[in-house]
């Protein structure tokens, strides 16, 4: 991070206070990122996302069992739809969580809000393990399940936007894509931990024991994970970009008042629509693979629970390094080409992939899932850096939390429920593919209107580099470019 004084001890003038000739840039204007703090920030943000997706992995892989415990009266298909209904209900309150936590994060800081969301996520997940089944307390059981999911949904409304903002504001301009991809690496790691735990319990326990009490074990593990995550997040400092923003506010005689929700939606309408379109593509493919496919394989195609779980887990494991791979390459190729590659891939290959999965042959099922997973990593490796770059520092947390959660609530979180209903009503096993194609077309149109942000400073922030030597080289490079531009004859 930048120092607050010059070598002579005089207070340093920040770039927003300077009025130098020709608006020249100096080394003091560049943010020099503390590399140790950057690593801690990435770890803390990724851990929170891992906590969120630990719950998703557990819930998705136990969907059939949860349906039997809380909705025992219906057919397997109806139980599955009811279970995903409770899953989707949590997404209805996520925009409310975004409306609450987003402006709070722009006002009091990213670090404090991320500590609060970590605690709430852990409490919601832990409480699911405490709820008695329908056979014990009747209709109160599914109602309590819904309440716990609503607590989770409210807290996660402030989690992803804050975590992505936190990493983006801590990262250097040259490697923001790669650093952001660790957020989704944490997502997959948390999902794998939850899914692996469920798979181990399914393999080790008799079916009646799993149905009776074994399914509760993964939810109880959320408590120690949450305490550890809270400890890590409380040790962090605020991001350099937000610190500079607050310094700027203090330096001005009259701080700029925070925009109201309607003012922000009106002023940043185009950016908000781009955010919603990108998140739609990102999350439909995400929840299709991670939340719907485990139950699709077992409840619809009739594969054994253990086989279905193991296939998805192997795909998730392969996706982890692929996410980092695309995180690295979108810093070089650009965010737009990588996202477009994934969208075009899904448009062309979604139907063949679902056909392969629908054969029921384990090798072909794995191939279809692996192609879908590999295409999704084009988004998971890129979105954590692309989305925060849409907005300026003073409204970044608010706008991203609101736009992200509106899109997730309307399109992403409802994907398992809507797809299960479409398959049930149409008896067409290719419905998931058509759903993916529709999302990909919307995403591809959005990419066309995006501005490329790879290797560029965040909107409203100073350039960020890893060392003072890089800052010196950057200043020389900018000065040389301006000299060349000034030397060009006027047209």
Q: Residue 12 pLDDT more than 70? A: no
Which pLDDT score, from 0 to 100, does residue 1 have?
A: 41
Bridge partners of residue 11, in order along the sequence: 5
Q: Residue 490 pLDDT more than 80? A: no
User: What is the CATH code for 25-243+268-487?
Assistant: 1.20.1250.20
Dist. CA 277–CA 439, nearest whole Å: 9
Which distant-in-sequence residues (6+ apart) come within 8 Å of 48 by Cβ? Answer: 114, 117, 118, 121, 159, 163, 186, 229, 233
Which pLDDT score, from 0 to 100, does residue 15 have?
A: 38
Average pLDDT of the residues in 209-216: 89
Dist. CA 175–CA 241, nearest whole Å: 16
Contact 325, 341 (CB under 8 A): no
Average pLDDT of the residues in 302-331: 90
Is residue 458 classed as helix, strand or coil in its secondary structure?
coil
Contact 65, 216 (CB under 8 A): no
Measured CA distances, 323 to 147, 166, 319, 380, 443 (Å): 33, 19, 6, 6, 19
> Per-residue confidence at 255, pLDDT binned at 50, 70, 90?
low
- pLDDT tens figures, 71-110: 887 667 777 777 777 777 777 888 899 999 999 999 888 9
Which pLDDT score, from 0 to 100, does residue 318 have?
A: 95
CB-based burial of residue 429 (10 Å sphere; 0-12 exposed, 13-18 middle, 19+ buried)? middle
Dist. CA 139–CA 124, nearest whole Å: 19
Q: What is the CA radius of gyration of the chain?
A: 24
Q: Would you put residue 123 in left (φ > 0), alpha (ψ -120 to 50) or beta?
A: alpha
Q: Residue 433 pLDDT more than 80? A: yes
Tell me what the pLDDT averaged over the chain comes to. 85
Measured CA distances, 42 to 38, 157, 230, 361 (Å): 6, 19, 14, 40
CA angle 123–125–130, rounded 5-degree value? 90
Q: Give the number of other CB atoms < 10 A from CB of residue 129.
A: 18
Query: What long-range pairs does 343-346 form, CB within 8 A, spacing at least 24?
Result: 343/281, 343/378, 343/440, 343/441, 343/443, 343/444, 343/447, 344/440, 344/444, 345/375, 345/378, 346/285, 346/372, 346/375, 346/436, 346/437, 346/439, 346/440
pTM (two decimals): 0.85
Least confident of 35-44, 113-122, 164-173, 252-261: 252-261
Which pLDDT score, from 0 to 100, does residue 253 have?
A: 52
Q: What are phi and psi of 465, to 5 degrees?
A: -130, 175
Is residue 257 classed as helix, strand or coil in its secondary structure?
coil
Which pLDDT score, from 0 to 100, does residue 257 have?
A: 61
Dist. CA 414–CA 292, nearest whole Å: 10
- pLDDT tens figures, 342-387: 999 999 999 999 999 989 899 999 999 999 999 999 999 999 999 9
Q: Residue 146 pLDDT more than 70? A: yes
Q: Give the number of other CB atoms < 10 A from CB of residue 486.
A: 8
């Amino acid at each position: 991070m930048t120092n607050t004084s010059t070598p002579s001890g005089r207070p340093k003038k920040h770039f927003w206070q300077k009025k130098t000739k020709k608006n020249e840039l100096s080394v003091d204007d560049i943010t020099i990122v503390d590399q140790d703090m950057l690593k801690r920030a990435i770890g803390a943000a990724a851990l929170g996302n891992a906590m969120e997706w630990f719950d998703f992995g557990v819930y998705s892989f136990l969907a059939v069992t949860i349906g039997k415990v809380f909705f025992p009266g219906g057919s397997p298909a109806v139980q599955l739809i009811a279970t995903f209904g409770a899953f989707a209900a949590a997404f209805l309150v996520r925009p409310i969580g975004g409306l609450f936590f987003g402006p709070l994060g722009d006002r009091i800081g990213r670090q404090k809000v991320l500590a609060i969301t970590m605690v709430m996520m852990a409490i919601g997940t832990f409480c699911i393990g405490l709820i008695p089944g329908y056979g014990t307390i009747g209709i109160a059981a599914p109602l309590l399940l819904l309440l716990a999911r609503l607590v989770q949904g409210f807290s996660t409304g402030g989690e992803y936007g804050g975590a992505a903002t936190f990493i983006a504001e801590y990262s250097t301009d040259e490697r923001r894509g790669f650093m952001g991809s660790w957020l989704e690496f944490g997502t997959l790691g948390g999902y794998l931990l939850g899914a692996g735990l469920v798979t181990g319990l399914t393999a080790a326990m008799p079916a009646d024991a799993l149905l009776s009490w074994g399914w509760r074990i993964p939810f109880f593990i959320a408590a120690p994970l949450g305490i550890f995550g809270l400890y890590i997040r409380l040790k962090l400092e605020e991001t350099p970009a937000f610190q500079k923003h607050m310094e700027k506010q203090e330096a001005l005689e009259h701080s700029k008042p925070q925009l109201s929700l309607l003012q922000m939606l009106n002023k940043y309408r185009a950016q908000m629509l781009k955010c919603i379109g990108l998140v739609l593509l990102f999350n439909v493919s995400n929840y299709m693979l991670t939340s719907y496919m485990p139950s699709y394989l077992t409840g619809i195609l009739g594969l054994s629970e253990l086989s279905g779980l193991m296939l998805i887990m192997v795909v998730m494991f392969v996706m982890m390094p692929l996410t980092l791979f695309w995180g690295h390459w979108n810093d070089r190729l650009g965010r737009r080409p990588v996202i477009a590659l994934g969208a075009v891939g899904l448009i062309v290959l979604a139907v063949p992939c679902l056909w392969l999965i629908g054969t029921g042959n384990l090798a072909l099922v794995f191939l279809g899932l692996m192609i879908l997973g590999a295409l999704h990593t084009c988004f998971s490796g890129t979105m954590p850096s692309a989305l925060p770059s849409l907005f300026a520092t003073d409204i970044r947390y608010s706008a991203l939390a609101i736009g992200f959660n509106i899109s997730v609530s309307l399109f992403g979180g409802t994907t398992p429920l809507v797809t299960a209903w479409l398959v049930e009503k149409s008896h067409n096993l290719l419905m998931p593919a058509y759903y993916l194609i529709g999302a990909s077309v919307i995403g591809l149109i959005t990419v066309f209107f995006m501005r490329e942000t790879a290797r560029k400073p965040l909107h409203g922030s100073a350039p960020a580099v890893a060392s003072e030597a890089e800052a010196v080289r950057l200043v020389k490079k900018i000065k040389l470019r301006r000299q060349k531009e000034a030397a060009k004859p006027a047209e």
